[in-house]
């Protein structure tokens, strides 16, 4: 076998950073992107512009690729099956991906394998949602469209029967979940290869603001070895049972009574793993690529006692470059990762990583830089 061609479907920042991680491996990287302006399309040499929802586009793209992987989970299941039938390795495959595409399927499977979940069931209308609320001790409850949600979209925090009407308007099945009394959110990230090798990254704490990931701390401060081990084992078991290949992020709630419950799954490099670019021996992106090519996986251990990632969201100032001077001069150890996206208020346009021995210092530096780039901190 000579150096393989990795076909990446989707032109977002995850594809951009996977390309970056693949360059040193000498891989040939081919991108299917919606537009030439997409984050990854700006930096990849071999780009096909096309619609991943069109099977013939996908098929034409896949010819000449040794493996297909993904920047997102939106490629229709039937199309993935068709590519597999054409003989193209699809990693993760459709039988695994469907669990990341459909929250109803995900909950059913997790329950089947005994993975701890919030109480949940599919609800058919607002009255049924109210009945579910009754079953779990009353409002508030969480309603989610089973498909198409991300970053807080497609998720409703429902306090009254009237609130329960909106989720049904999309015409997609609705999953109801109890509101979990959690102390914080965690993420257990692992990478698994087709031949079954797997590595587990340290469990991280993930802090959300308005439903969007804001800060990730690696490892999760004060997490007991026992709970960390449970979370890693759970993620490894989910990956194996669901047949995941590549990076799997298992987003978790840590409950007030010391349990972990699965919140969401993502079968691709994930925001909660961006810290690994500068904080781990092998980044999630490098290990994802190694996994989809069935190469031995790299060491997931941290390189520093603490690593912090803060997302950079768009603010009121469209030009973030001029903030570089201040940020780079203030902190020569700061690691900036920008996605080449136009700034829109609230849009994820980059992230920063910091690492070191003192968590307070590492946190302050990351938050300052992210705030300064966004424009919410001006000195």
Q: Annotated binding site: which residue ranges?
A: 103, 144, 177-180, 185, 263-264
Instruction: Give dist(CA 83, CA 281) in Å, integer.
Output: 34
* By CB under 8 A, residue 321 contacts a second copy: yes
Residue 29 in the binding site for a second copy (CB under 8 A): yes
35 binds a second copy (CB under 8 A): no
Least distance in angstroms from the C-beta of 324 to a second copy: 6
Q: Which residues are annotated as a binding site for ATP?
A: 103, 144, 177-180, 185, 263-264
Distances (CA, A) of 47 to 9, 28, 89, 224, 317: 10, 11, 20, 45, 30
Q: Return the residue of 5, 28, 49, 347 that touches a second copy, per CB under 8 A.
A: 28
Instruction: Provide, rounded to whole angstroms, the least separation between the CB of residue 26 and a second copy.
Output: 3
Give the closest residue to 195 by CA, choosing from 268, 293, 283, 285. 293
For 282-288, the CB contacts below 8 A with 24+ separation are 282/199, 283/21, 284/189, 284/191, 284/201, 284/247, 285/14, 285/17, 285/18, 285/20, 285/21, 285/22, 286/21, 286/22, 286/25, 287/191, 287/199, 287/247, 288/18, 288/21, 288/69, 288/191, 288/246, 288/247
User: In angstroms, what is the minimal distance from the CB of 181 to a second copy?
Assistant: 38
Q: Does 338 bind a second copy (CB under 8 A)?
A: yes
Q: Give, to the nearest 10 degrees, the angle between helix 13-22 and helix 284-292.
A: 80
Count the helix, strand and coil residues of the chain and give each as a percent rounded to the nearest 5.
35, 30, 40
| 298 binding a second copy? (CB under 8 A) | yes
Sites for a second copy among residues 42-61 (CB under 8 A):
42-45, 47
Q: 10 Å Cβ neighbour count for 309?
A: 30
Nearest distance from C-beta of residue 77 to a second copy, angstroms: 31
Task: Verify binding: residue 155, a second copy, rule CB under 8 A.
Answer: no
Helix (H), strand (E) counts: the chain = 11, 17
Is 145 a binding residue for a second copy by CB under 8 A? The answer is no
- By C-beta, is 19 or 270 nearer to a second copy? 19
Least distance between a second copy and beta carbon 4 (Å):
7
Which residues between 85 and 144 bind a second copy (CB under 8 A)? none
Phi, psi of 64 (to 5 degrees): 90, -5
* Selected binder of a second copy within 172, 227, 295, 377 (CB under 8 A): 295
Least Å distance between CB 296 and a second copy? Answer: 4
Q: Does 66 bind a second copy (CB under 8 A)?
A: no
The residue whose two tokens read 């493996």 is 67
75 binds a second copy (CB under 8 A): no
**Residue from 340, 347, 371, 377 that binds a second copy (CB under 8 A)?**
340
Which backbone phi and psi does 313 adopt, to 5 degrees?
-100, 155
- By beta-carbon proximity to a second copy, the closer residue of 79 and 337 is 337
Binding site for a second copy (CB under 8 A): 1-4, 16-17, 19-20, 23-26, 28-29, 41-45, 47, 277, 281-282, 290, 295-299, 303, 319-322, 324-325, 328-329, 332-340, 350
């Amino acid at each position: 076998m000579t150096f393989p061609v990795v076909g990446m479907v989707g032109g977002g920042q995850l594809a951009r950073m996977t390309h970056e991680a693949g360059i040193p491996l000498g891989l040939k990287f081919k991108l299917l992107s919606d537009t030439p302006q997409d984050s990854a399309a700006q930096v990849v040499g071999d780009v096909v512009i096309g619609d991943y929802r069109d099977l013939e586009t996908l098929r034409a793209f896949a010819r000449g690729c040794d493996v297909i992987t993904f920047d997102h989970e939106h490629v229709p299941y039937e199309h993935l099956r068709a590519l597999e039938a054409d003989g193209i390795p699809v990693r993760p495959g459709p039988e695994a991906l469907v669990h990341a595409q459909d929250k109803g399927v995900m909950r059913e499977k997790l329950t089947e394998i005994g993975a701890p979940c919030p109480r949940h069931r599919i609800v058919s209308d607002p009255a049924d949602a109210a009945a579910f609320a009754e079953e779990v001790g009353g409002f508030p409850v969480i309603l989610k469209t089973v498909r198409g949600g991300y970053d807080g979209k497609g998720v409703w925090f429902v306090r009254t029967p009237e609130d329960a009407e909106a989720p049904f308007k999309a015409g997609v099945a609705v999953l109801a979940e109890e509101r979990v009394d959690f102390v914080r959110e965690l993420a257990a990230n692992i990478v698994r290869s087709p031949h079954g090798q797997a590595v587990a990254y340290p469990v991280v704490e993930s802090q959300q603001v308005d439903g969007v990931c804001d800060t990730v701390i690696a490892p999760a401060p004060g997490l007991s070895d026992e709970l960390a081990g449970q979370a890693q084992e759970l993620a490894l078991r989910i990956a194996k049972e669901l047949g995941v290949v590549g990076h799997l992020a298992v987003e978790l709630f840590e409950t007030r009574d010391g349990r972990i419950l699965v919140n969401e799954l993502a079968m691709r490099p994930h925001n909660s793993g961006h810290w690994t670019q500068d904080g781990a021996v092998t980044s999630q992106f490098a290990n994802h690529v190694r996994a989809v090519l069935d190469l031995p996986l790299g060491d997931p251990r941290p390189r520093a006692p603490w690593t912090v990632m803060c997302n950079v969201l768009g603010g009121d100032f469209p030009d973030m470059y001029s903030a570089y001077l201040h940020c780079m001069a203030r902190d020569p150890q700061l690691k900036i990762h920008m996605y080449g996206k136009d700034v829109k208020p609230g849009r994820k346009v980059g992230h920063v990583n910091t690492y070191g021995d003192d968590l307070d210092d590492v946190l302050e530096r990351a938050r300052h830089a992210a705030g300064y780039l966004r424009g919410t901190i001006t000195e």
